[in-house]
Amino acid sequence: MGTPEFPNLGKHCSVGDCRQIDFLPFTCDRCDLVFCLQHRSYTTHQCPNANLKDVTVLICPLCAKGVRLNPSEDPNITWDTHVNTDCDPSNYEKVTKKKKCPVPRCRETLTFSNTIRCKDCTKEHCLKHRFGPDHKCSGPIKVDSGFPFVNMLRRSQKAETRSNSSKNSSSSWWSSSLTNLKSSAEAGMQKLSIATSEAIQKAKDGISQNSSSSSSSSELVEACVHCPARFSTVGALIEHVEKSHQANQQPSRGRLTIDVCPKCSKGFRDPVLLVEHVEREHGGTSKA
């Protein structure tokens, strides 16, 4: 069997009556034996493990669920295990009962691809009756935007028509609720009026204080540049300067000194200004 170059080439068929040498043998994926082309199928070589990977599912008539049969287990045992553990008869209607279009005389089964939910009535319809006029849509739910106690009043009135006992209880509850509401509203209005009056009084006090301080400060608006004295008029300020400060400044005017730049003959009263001028205009040299 084989050749010197390929000594392992070819194998005998595992069937006893065949034993044929096949250079391209087939290996069974169930029993892992080698067979020739003629006996490669499960039935021809009678494979004992042919049904190990078979998938057999039975539909339970009680819950409509699929029960997979185990090849290595008795089907009766598998069925008993399902009935005692997983079987739920309430699921039968959910699986078998199909949802249909609610429009009269329309028996269209609603599936994932042909179901449309109406935005107004929030009901599911088929594609044929997806528009409002086709399924007689009642329209969106109207929201009562009126006074919030109107619904409570209507409920109390309906309760009065039913029985006398309910009438007495509803009227007492309604009267107590109105009384509480009225008292809370009066208390809130009283607090609001007190807070408003306090705010107005504080504003008036602040305005009066500001006016008094501004009037006192406006009395002395003219300040002397030589001393901290302040005056109400310009004439009083001029008279003060002439009397107090001009006599002191006149003798000093004759002793006024001016520093002259040696480069451009420009005069400066402050020596610091002369130094800055020389450094800026003449490059920092004061020699002529």
Nearest Cα neighbor of 66 from 85, 80, 82, 84 is 82
Question: With 60 as the cut, is the pLDDT of residue 141 above it?
Answer: yes
Q: What is the pLDDT of residue 35?
A: 92
Residues 6+ apart with CB under 8 A from 49: 30, 31
Contact 54, 43 (CB under 8 A): no
Contact 124, 108 (CB under 8 A): no
Question: With 70 as the cut, is the pLDDT of residue 134 above it?
Answer: yes
Question: With 60 as the cut, is the pLDDT of residue 284 above it?
Answer: yes
Q: What is the mean pLDDT of residues 12-19?
A: 88
**In this predicted model, what pLDDT tens digit does every residue of 56-112 receive, in sequence order?**
888 888 888 888 888 778 889 988 998 898 888 888 887 778 888 999 988 888 888
**In this predicted model, what pLDDT tens digit does every residue of 212-254 receive, in sequence order?**
555 554 555 677 777 777 777 767 877 887 777 765 554 444 4
Distance CA 139, CA 121 (A): 6
The single residue listed with the structure tokens 């006996």 is 39
Instruction: Tell me the pTM.
Output: 0.29
Structural domains for the chain: 10-52 (4.10.1110.10), 55-97 (no CATH), 98-140 (no CATH)
Question: With 60 as the cut, is the pLDDT of residue 175 above it?
Answer: yes
Task: Name the band, by pLDDT with cuts 50, 70 and 90, for residue 22.
Answer: confident
Share of the chain above pLDDT 70, in %: 72
Question: With 60 as the cut, is the pLDDT of residue 33 above it?
Answer: yes
Nearest Cα neighbor of 128 from 105, 106, 112 is 106
The secondary structure of 88-144 as a DSSP string is -TTHHHHHHSPPB--STT--PBP-SSS-EE-TTT--EE-STT-STTTTT---SPPP-
Question: With 70 as the cut, is the pLDDT of residue 191 above it?
Answer: yes
> Mean of the per-residue pLDDT values for the chain?
76
